[in-house]
């Protein structure tokens, strides 16, 4: 059985324009499985399991073949070979793409194959259902509770195995590049039922997004990282510059990424690019109405490659940019700024992608597995497709074959109890009858997390957030207003439930960020930096995955440490200079 919130689903995959990595070495530029493995371990700042990353690099080759066989129209070169381009943190061209619609095309390929199985009767689809709880019978995950988003009916479903592929939790920041419907409820409810949560504070802020233009905005838009292949990032040298970009002469521009990181230049990894953008804006050299932006300039690329080539490569991204900002990026530089985008943290899984609840498997962004403290561009799709096409199809049957599962049905007490709990939670949300909308709580939570657990984290800031979040949660349960009932289509109620979970996961993110006093990848503790202002790891004390266990509302979570050892990529300070 397959449960989908929507069909076709509005998900991160659908929105991924950039591409998907594979160590095919079609360019003959020195790529290999080992090189992809090494880049990914290093890119994640040595906070991922080596064995998982190696498997990912191996499988990357099969993914492209699988997708081509499914009919995904990857871009091709004149000679007919699949084309590739570069993404941040690497010096080879290993990213396969379908113009600016890679994710959407991958999704269409997957849907075609899925529909074939639906027609063959091997898959039953339940559409517009939201998973609200996992049911545990005799210590194993044996079912779920869902809500029909159209009728509001709660339903129980029994199964031998549950696979969660419900995406990341970047929407905890309120403003993010994720689809508005993305949320943490499925993984958070599983966590509350006993699944450990890995590295919750590892969240990625993507450097290449359209800057916020108004405080009433509810969504941020990604401009694919692929643009940094040809676009040059700069800000004016002078603070408080008021001239238009094209009026600022070359010698008064600071191409700060090229200056600071000559070997990787504009293609440094995301954490490095984001922190540098924040730094120049904090210095007062940011551009645009709010001073929170840097230029991404294509003038050189247009001069070098010609307008038509640039249009061919990135045309639809330029169109999106123009529709949102009203500016033509072929004639004036784009303005970009970092935005919450991806969560490396997620439910802890073993090598078979099984969580600490037997029978509960987790794939894609919902698990914590392969990216360590920072994900390299175009590797989320690689991981999600590796999990879904090549790992779970082996590990799930292996689990089923290795144990004798008792038959279960939804009349058993664990099912009725879980359903009753969900019902009373929804009734409680409606019963508050306060004055504030779910959105206003969400927005305020997002500001707290962005300010204190975003691009830079400090001991004082995290403690402030940890004091403020429980107060906001208390106010939520006292002053929330949800109109309508729970047995009908009610999007305010859906939203309120998701916000109630964000209010809990946000606290765990801050607890994790506070305990990890080192900097690594996207987790930048201001107290732990090198003299050049780069993230400074503390391998002696923090070379582990932090897996947190739920101990109850208002109770401190329990920390479990999975040590990380590096046999093939020796630990070293990351350098992109
Ligand atoms: C704008 C954008 C661009 C990106 N570009 C790239 C790129 O170019 N290359 C790359 O490698 N990666 C990219 N990424 C990252 C990548 O797209 C995601 O990490 C990946 O799609 C995650 O896939 P997923 O299937 O795990 O989760 P998702 O794609 O988020 O899908 C999860 C699905 O589960 C549903 N769901 C959530 N909760 C529930 C619930 N309780 N009950 C039922 N359903 C639920 C959601 O509605 C959604 O449909 C991008 C991400 C974004 C946001």
- What values do phi and psi take at 431, rounded to 5? -70, -15
Give the number of the atom of ligand 1 that is nearest the alpha carbon of residue 381: 11
Rounded percentage of the chain residues whose pLDDT exceeds 90: 86
Q: Which of 232, 270, 468, 537 is catalytic?
A: 270
Confidence of residue 13 (pLDDT cuts 50, 70, 90): low
Q: Is 17 in the pocket of ligand 1 (CB under 6 A)?
A: yes
Average pLDDT over residues 134-141: 98
Q: Is 389 in the pocket of ligand 1 (CB under 6 A)?
A: no
- pLDDT tops 90 at residue 101: no
Hey, which bits of 281-329 come out as E strands?
Answer: 294-297
Q: Is residue 575 part of a domain?
A: no
552-558 long-range contacts (CB < 8 A, ≥24 apart) are 553/504, 554/470, 556/511, 557/508, 557/511
pLDDT confidence of residue 417: 98
- pLDDT tops 80 at residue 190: yes
Average pLDDT over residues 224-232: 89
Question: Which residue would you say has higher pLDDT here, 497 or 313?
Answer: 497
Query: How far apart are the C-alpha atoms of 110 and 108, rounded to whole Å?
Result: 5
Q: Is residue 494 part of a domain?
A: yes
pLDDT confidence of residue 391: 98
- CATH number at 262 reads 3.90.700.10
Q: Are residues 301 and 218 in the same domain?
A: yes
- In the numeric block, the tokens 């630990």 are attached to 571
- The total domain count for the chain is 2
Q: Which of 314, 339, 364 is the last residue of a domain?
A: 339
pLDDT confidence of residue 88: 76
Q: Is 95 in the pocket of ligand 1 (CB under 6 A)?
A: no
pLDDT digits (tens, 9 = 90+) for 484-536: 999 999 999 999 999 999 999 999 999 999 999 999 999 999 999 998 888 99
Query: How far apart are the C-alpha atoms of 33 and 59, rounded to whole Å?
Result: 9
Q: Are residues 334 and 465 in the same domain?
A: no
Confidence of residue 170 (pLDDT cuts 50, 70, 90): very high
- pLDDT tops 60 at residue 430: yes
For residue 424, report the distance from its CA to the centre of ligand 1, in Å. Answer: 30
- 3-class SS shares of the chain: helix, strand, coil, % to 5: 40, 15, 40
Q: Are residues 434 and 307 in the same domain?
A: no
- pLDDT tops 80 at residue 265: yes
Confidence of residue 568 (pLDDT cuts 50, 70, 90): very high
Query: How far apart are the C-alpha atoms of 512 and 515, rounded to whole Å?
Result: 5
- pLDDT tops 60 at residue 10: no
Q: Is the dihedral of CA 14, 16, 17, 22 positive or negative?
A: negative
Q: Is residue 127 part of a domain?
A: no
Confidence of residue 7 (pLDDT cuts 50, 70, 90): low
Range of the domain at 248: 207-339
Q: Are residues 335 and 433 in the same domain?
A: no
Q: Are residues 215 and 315 in the same domain?
A: yes
Q: Is 13 in the pocket of ligand 1 (CB under 6 A)?
A: yes
pLDDT confidence of residue 259: 96
For residue 126, report the distance from its CA to the centre of ligand 1, in Å. Answer: 19
For residue 509, report the distance from its CA to the centre of ligand 1, in Å. Answer: 20
pLDDT confidence of residue 99: 77
Q: Are residues 222 and 331 in the same domain?
A: yes
pLDDT confidence of residue 14: 54
- pLDDT tops 90 at residue 11: no
Q: Are residues 526 and 425 in the same domain?
A: yes
pLDDT confidence of residue 16: 61
Q: Are residues 424 and 521 in the same domain?
A: yes
Q: Is 165 in the pocket of ligand 1 (CB under 6 A)?
A: yes
Q: Is residue 312 part of a domain?
A: yes
Q: What does the CA dihedral 412, 417, 418, 419 come to, rounded to 10 degrees?
A: 90
Q: Which of 316, 339, 362 is the last residue of a domain?
A: 339
pLDDT confidence of residue 8: 59
Q: Are residues 425 and 551 in the same domain?
A: yes
pLDDT confidence of residue 85: 87
Q: Is 365 in the pocket of ligand 1 (CB under 6 A)?
A: yes
- pLDDT tops 80 at residue 421: yes
Told to judge if 55 belongs to the known catalytic residues of this protein, a careful annotator would answer no
Q: In a 10 Å sphere around its CB, with 0-12 CB exposed, 13-18 middle and 19+ buried, how is residue 79 labelled?
A: exposed
For residue 16, report the distance from its CA to the centre of ligand 1, in Å. Answer: 8
pLDDT confidence of residue 89: 76
Q: Is residue 71 part of a domain?
A: no
Q: Is 408 in the pocket of ligand 1 (CB under 6 A)?
A: no
- pLDDT tops 90 at residue 561: yes
Q: Which of 309, 339, 369 is the last residue of a domain?
A: 339
Confidence of residue 15 (pLDDT cuts 50, 70, 90): low
- pLDDT tops 70 at residue 204: yes
Average pLDDT over residues 120-143: 97
Q: Are residues 523 and 418 in the same domain?
A: yes
pLDDT confidence of residue 6: 66
For residue 182, report the distance from its CA to the centre of ligand 1, in Å. Answer: 8
- pLDDT tops 60 at residue 72: yes
Confidence of residue 3 (pLDDT cuts 50, 70, 90): confident
Give the number of the atom of ligand 1 that is nearest the alpha carbon of residue 222: 1
- CATH number at 467 reads 1.20.58.100
pLDDT confidence of residue 17: 65
Give the number of the atom of ligand 1 that is nearest the alpha carbon of residue 181: 47
Query: How far apart are the C-alpha atoms of 373 and 524, rounded to whole Å?
Result: 10
Q: Is residue 117 part of a domain?
A: no
Q: Is 203 in the pocket of ligand 1 (CB under 6 A)?
A: no
Q: Is residue 333 part of a domain?
A: yes
Q: Is residue 69 part of a domain?
A: no
Average pLDDT over residues 300-314: 94
For residue 103, report the distance from its CA to the centre of ligand 1, in Å. Answer: 9
Q: Are residues 520 and 432 in the same domain?
A: yes
pLDDT confidence of residue 438: 98
Average pLDDT over residues 289-297: 93
Give the number of the atom of ligand 1 that is nearest the alpha carbon of residue 225: 8
Confidence of residue 384 (pLDDT cuts 50, 70, 90): very high
What number of other Cβ atoms are within 10 A of residue 457's Cβ? Answer: 26
Question: Which residue would you say has higher pLDDT here, 11 or 360?
Answer: 360
Average pLDDT over residues 49-58: 98
Question: Which residue would you say has higher pLDDT here, 7 or 314?
Answer: 314
Q: Are residues 335 and 421 in the same domain?
A: no
């Amino acid at each position: 059985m397959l449960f989908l919130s929507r069909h076709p689903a509005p998900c991160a995959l659908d929105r991924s324009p950039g591409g998907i990595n594979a160590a095919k070495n079609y360019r003959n530029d020195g790529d290999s499985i080992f090189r992809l493995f090494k880049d990914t371990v290093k890119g994640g700042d040595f906070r991922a399991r080596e064995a998982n990353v190696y498997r990912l690099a191996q499988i990357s080759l099969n993914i492209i073949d699988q997708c081509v066989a499914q009919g995904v129209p990857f871009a091709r070169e004149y000679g007919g070979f699949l084309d590739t381009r570069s993404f941040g943190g690497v010096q080879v061209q290993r990213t396969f793409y379908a113009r600016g619609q890679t994710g959407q095309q991958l999704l269409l390929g997957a849907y075609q194959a899925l529909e074939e199985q639906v027609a063959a009767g091997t898959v039953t689809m339940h559409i517009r259902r939201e998973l609200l709880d996992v049911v545990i019978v005799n210590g194993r995950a044996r079912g779920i509770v869902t809500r029909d988003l159209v009728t509001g009916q709660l339903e129980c479903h029994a199964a031998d195995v549950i696979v969660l592929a419900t995406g990341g939790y970047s929407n905890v920041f309120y403003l993010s590049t994720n689809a508005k419907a993305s949320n943490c409820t499925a993984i958070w409810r599983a966590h509350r039922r006993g699944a450990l949560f890995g590295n919750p504070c590892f969240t990625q802020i993507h450097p290449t997004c359209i800057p916020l233009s108004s405080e009433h905005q509810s969504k941020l838009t990604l401009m694919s990282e692929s643009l940094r292949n040809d676009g040059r990032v700069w800000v004016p040298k002078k603070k408080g510059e008021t001239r238009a970009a094209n009026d600022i002469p070359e010698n008064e521009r600071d191409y700060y990424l090229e200056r600071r990181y000559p070997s990787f230049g504009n293609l440094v990894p995301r954490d490095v690019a984001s922190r540098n953008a924040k730094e120049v804006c904090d210095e007062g050299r940011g551009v645009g109405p709010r001073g929170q932006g840097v230029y991404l300039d294509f003038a050189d690329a247009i001069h070098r490659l010609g307008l038509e080539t640039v249009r061919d490569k990135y045309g639809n991204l330029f169109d999106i940019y123009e529709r949102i900002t009203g500016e033509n990026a072929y004639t004036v530089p784009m303005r970009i700024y970092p935005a919450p985008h991806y969560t490396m943290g997620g439910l802890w899984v073993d090598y078979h992608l099984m969580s600490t609840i037997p029978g509960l498997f987790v794939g894609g962004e919902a698990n914590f597995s392969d990216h360590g403290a920072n994900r390299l561009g175009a590797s989320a799709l690689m991981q999600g497709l590796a999990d879904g096409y090549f790992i779970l199809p082996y590990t799930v049957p292996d689990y089923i074959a290795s144990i004798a599962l008792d038959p279960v049905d939804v009349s058993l007490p664990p099912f009725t109890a879980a359903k009753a709990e969900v019902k009373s939670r929804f009734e409680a949300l409606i019963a508050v009858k306060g004055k504030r909308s779910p959105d206003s709580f969400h927005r305020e939570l997002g500001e707290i997390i962005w300010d204190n657990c975003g691009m830079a984290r400090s001991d004082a800031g995290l403690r402030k957030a940890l004091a403020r979040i429980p107060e906001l949660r208390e106010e939520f349960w006292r002053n929330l207003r949800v109109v309508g009932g729970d047995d009908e289509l009610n999007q305010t109620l859906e939203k309120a439930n998701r916000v109630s979970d964000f209010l809990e996961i946000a606290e765990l993110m801050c607890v994790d960020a506070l305990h990890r006093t080192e900097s690594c990848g996207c987790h930048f503790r201001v107290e732990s930096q090198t003299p050049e202002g780069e993230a400074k790891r503390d391998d002696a004390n923090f070379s582990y995955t932090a897996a947190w266990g739920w101990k109850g509302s208002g109770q401190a979570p329990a920390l479990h440490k999975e040590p990380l050892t590096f046999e093939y990529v020796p630990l070293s300070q990351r350098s992109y200079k």
